Amino acid sequence: MSLSRFFLSSLLSIGTAVHPAHADDGDANEPLHLEPLVVSASPYAREPGELAQPVSVLDGNRLARQQATSLGELLANEPGVSSTWFGPGASRPIVRGLGGDRLKVIENSVGTLDASITSPDHAVALDPLLIERVEVVRGPAALLYGGNAVGGVVNVITHRIHETLPDHPLAGRFEVRTQSVNDEQSAGIVLDGAAGSFAWHLDGFRRKTHDLQIPSYAESARLRATGEEHEHDDEEHEEAAEAYGTVPNTALTADGGAFGLSYIGEAGHVGLAWSGYNTFYGVPAGAHSHAAHEHEHDEEEHADETAHADKVSIDLVQRRIDVQGAFARDSGLLRGARFKFGSADYRHQELEGAAVGTVFRNRGHDARVELLHQPLAGFTGAFGWQGGRSNFAAIGDEAFVPPSRTTNQALFLFEELAHGTLTWQFGGRAETQRITLRDGSGRSHRDHLLSASGGVVWNAAEMWTLGLALARSERAPNAQEHFADGPHPGTGAYEIGDPNLGIETSTAIDLTLRKRAGLITGALTLFTNQFDGFVFEQPTGLLAVDQEDHFDFVDADHTAAEEGLAVYRFTQSNARFQGVEAELVVHLHNGGPDRLDLYLAADTVRGKETSTGRPLPRITPNRTKVGLEWTSHAFTLGGEVQFVAAQNRLAAQELPTDGYTLVSAHAGYRLVTGRTAWDFFLRGTNLGNTEARVHTSFLKDIIPLPGRSVHAGVRMSF
């Protein structure tokens, strides 16, 4: 047994939880209108009302209540956020219709260094069970995080490297959970402690589920009606078509752990953390053969092709080291500095039965340095450097991208100026990206990028703020968009890149009105994002037919083409995204320990090619949510109804998706004895057992959302 496996197995034998906290953390009676500090949108921690951009924070009781097996599903109900939903094992967030390489997912402000952007069946290399909070910056965040944050940034905070000494020599949290819809059993533990000037952190978790239960058939009625015209002549297709009540091959197991050590002195801190993450999950039966329906299915024809007769599973392993530090000073130009560095070795194997089909590897690092300066002529801010490197390779039958090395270097500046009731925020970023193929061809591509943003926050009254943000961002196409050439079962397409793709430029405007206190609190945001040279996959009208040692390309309506993958080529056009996001809390009653709150939320987004007016594919439909929550002393009780509209604004060859309504309810109780708190929680989701299909998913006609489920758990904090 390797040292890392021994460490994980020893740690997991201790017990279970999320993150250490004092007994009063997550108090059910904490006022909902208090705003948390945000660290993802500015070099300085700010409240959301002090930022020009809209930001969502998920932490405390809401984070514990909304726990999920993937990051995408954890955030899928936040304003402006949906998910790629490729089953329980893999789901990545989508913000305002933008995902993949246009949405930056980071851990403690450092890249996740995995392969999740290359395909929707690739999981993000972290588990939600151990995280402390999530910050979602909606809209361009390229200024601080690079051109591939043009759609926004999701920052997962784990608190493994301490910045201050804990208040107690030992604190921690222990948690166990279960869920009926997939027979989930999960547990985790987090311990924090201090000895002199040193602080340490230890965490570990394990999660195990069985196949997912669903309300009816796995395949949609529309797909089943079409499929009845054809004979199911392969095992995987037949299993997917006949699956009812349960989706085969959707079980997962995951475990992981971390150790961190920090030195904390009067001038600052420095720390190191080692972490490991392992997961083994099944790809839903039929996914690799049926994902192509997004590209090649119409109402009269149905392709029965399959990528493999055996079940497909993914075995993912990542080992990671993080180093972070900060110091402060009172003299000279600088008032402080921060640095963050993360290095990871990532590998996942795609198994066809017991045989290894394709291996994906990513060895890389991400580093950033921020220098905070003293006030200059009223300006406060920071300037810094960010650099990263990724050695990516796919080896095997589905190696649709050649091995490549991507390097990035950037300089950035962020400044604030407060004048009366106005706070001005602006900055810029200069970045270079170089992609070099490691296939012996010597091919490479270099791009130079410039991004700038400006904004203003107007404190219109004691409780009101109005924020306006304008950003111009540039994104360089990645290795997949430039050099892909092969079958990609995750998207059901044969992808062909274009080495001559140019820089993608976006101009975005956000207008956000916030109310921070009073009877009604919340925010209303209007946004628009215009893209010049938007990179997307365009159908060629061809099918790629596998001839064992090569692919033949034939017309899609060729009578001899009984099976094949639709051929898509990466190209560029102009596009526009625009929409509205609203989130309100009406504090119906707030008298001492008793509180009654009404929640209202809604979001809508439209995405289309401006040259043709055609909708872009997989755009989130309109969504509305209404909830009510009552708290009294240690008790919490609430319910929620979410209405998701049908999506009939469709791209070429895209199928419509029916609307649905989801009902959920939750209850909680807190018992405090001295420094120890026990939190008991119960949550029911999809109580109507409704068939709900996610339009943003490649598998929307293959696998619906889970059926009726009851989540239960207990958390002990000390």
- pLDDT band per the 50, 70, 90 thresholds, residue 13: very low
Q: Which amino acid is at 686?
A: N
Q: pLDDT value at position 194? A: 96
Say which amino acid occupies 675: R
CB 404 within 8 A of CB 392: yes
**Alpha-carbon span 396 to 399, nearest angstrom:** 5
Q: Give yes or no for a contact between 706 and 681, defined as CB atoms under 8 angstroms apart.
A: no
For residues 239 and 657, the model is more confident at: 657
Query: Strands of 133-138's sheet, edge to edge?
Result: 55-59, 133-138, 152-157, 103-107, 110-111
Which residues make Cβ contacts (< 8 Å) with residue 118, sequence separation at least 6?
A: 360, 392, 394, 401, 480
Is the distance from CB of 559 to CB of 551 less than 8 angstroms?
A: no
Residue 152's closest CA among 162, 160, 142, 161?
142
- Residue 9's pLDDT is 37
Identity of the residue numbered 14 = I
Could you tell me the two tokens for 63? 């984070």
Q: What is the pLDDT of residue 5?
A: 36
Q: What is the pLDDT of residues 348-388, one digit of tens each?
A: 999 988 899 899 999 999 999 999 999 999 999 999 999 99
Task: Give a three-class secondary structure readout of 119-180.
Answer: CCCCCCCCCHHHCCEEEEEECCCHHHHCHHHCCEEEEEECCCCCCCCCCCCEEEEEEEEEEC
Q: How much is the pLDDT for 407?
A: 97
The burial of 167, by beta-carbon neighbours within 10 Å (0-12 exposed, 13-18 middle, 19 or more buried), is given as exposed
For residues 258 and 117, give the distance between their C-alpha atoms in angstroms, rounded to a whole number. 24
CA 87/CA 94 separation, integer angstroms: 15
450-479 pLDDT per residue, tens: 999 999 999 988 899 999 999 999 999 999
Nearest-CA neighbor of 24 among 197, 168, 155? 168
Q: CA–CA distance from 648 to each of 214, 606, 674 (Å)?
A: 24, 12, 56
pLDDT of residue 113: 96
Q: Is 394 exposed, middle or buried (0-12, 13-18, 19+ CB in 10 A)?
A: buried
CA angle 85–87–88, rounded 5-degree value: 105
Amino acid at 527: F
State the DSSP code for 615: B
Window from 485-499, 607-621, 623-637 with minimum mean pLDDT: 485-499
Q: Give the integer Cα–Cα distance in Å for 118 and 459.
A: 42
Determine how many CB atoms are found less than 10 A away from the CB of residue 330.
9
What is the arithmetic mean of pLDDT over 401-408? 96
C-alpha 200/C-alpha 136 separation (Å) is 28
Quick one: three-class SS letters along 72-109? HHHHCCCCCEEECCCCCCCCCEEECCECHHHEEEEECC
pLDDT tens-digit series, residues 124-133: 999 999 899 9
Domain ranges of the chain: 3-717
Per-residue pLDDT band at 308 (split at 50, 70, 90): very low
Q: Label residue 594 left, alpha or beta by phi (over 0 means left) and psi (-120 to 50 means alpha).
A: beta
Give the long-range contacts of residues 622-626, CB within 8 A, separation 24 or more.
625/77, 625/599, 625/600, 625/601, 626/598, 626/599, 626/600
Residues 6+ apart with CB under 8 A from 354: none
Residue 296 parent element (H or E): helix 293-296
* Cα dihedral 654, 659, 661, 662 in deg (nearest 10): 0
Greater model confidence, 589 or 223: 589
Distance CA 22, CA 71 (A): 25
Query: Could you tell me the end-to-end alpha-carbon distance of the chain, in angstroms, rounded to an integer?
Result: 33
β-strand partners of 713: 177, 681
pLDDT surpassing 60 at residue 33: no
pLDDT band at 29 (very low <50, low <70, confident <90, very high): very low
Highest mean pLDDT among 27-36, 152-161, 649-658: 152-161
Residue type, 111: G
* Cα–Cα dist 64/470, whole Å: 34
Portion of the chain with pLDDT greater than 90, in percent: 74
Nearest to 47 by CA among 135, 161, 151, 143: 135
Query: HSE on the CB side for 73, CA within 13 Å?
Result: 22
Mean pLDDT of the residues in the chain: 88
The strand ranges marked E within 440-519 are 444-458, 464-475, 485-488, 493-496, 504-515
Residues near 562 by Cβ (< 8 Å), separated by ≥ 6?
none
| Single-letter code of the amino acid located at 530 | Q
Q: Given this model, what pLDDT does residue 295 score?
A: 44
Contact 527, 508 (CB under 8 A): yes
What is the distance between the alpha carbons of residues 597 and 144, in angstroms, rounded to a whole number? Answer: 36
CA–CA distance, 666 with 641 (Å, rounded to integer): 12
- Of 450, 585, 471, 622, give the one whose Cα is nearest residue 138: 471
Q: What is the mean pLDDT of residues 268-292?
A: 84
Q: Which fold has domain 3-717?
A: Maltoporin; Chain A (2.40.170)
Of the two residues 541 and 213, the one the predictor is more confident about is 213
Pairwise CA distance, residues 110 & 368, whole Å = 8
Q: How far is CA 225 from CA 190, 228, 296, 298, 301, in A?
A: 50, 6, 16, 12, 11
pLDDT digits (tens, 9 = 90+) for 138-176: 988 878 899 899 999 999 999 899 999 998 999 999 999
* Residue 518: Cβ within 10 Å count: 11
Q: What is the rounded CA–CA span in Å between residue 246 and residue 88?
A: 13
Residue 294 has pLDDT above 80, yes or no: no
pLDDT of residue 564: 82
Which residues lie closer than 8 Å to 457 by C-beta, 6 or more apart?
Answer: 49, 50, 51, 52, 422, 423, 425, 465, 466, 467
Q: Is residue 278 very low, low, confident or very high in pLDDT (cuts 50, 70, 90)?
A: very high
Are the beta carbons of 117 and 100 closer than 8 angstroms? yes
Our measurement of the distance from residue 533's CA atom to the centroid of its chain's CA atoms, rounded to an integer in Å, reads 25
Q: Is residue 138 packed enough to be buried (19+ CB in 10 Å), middle (13-18) or exposed (0-12)?
A: buried
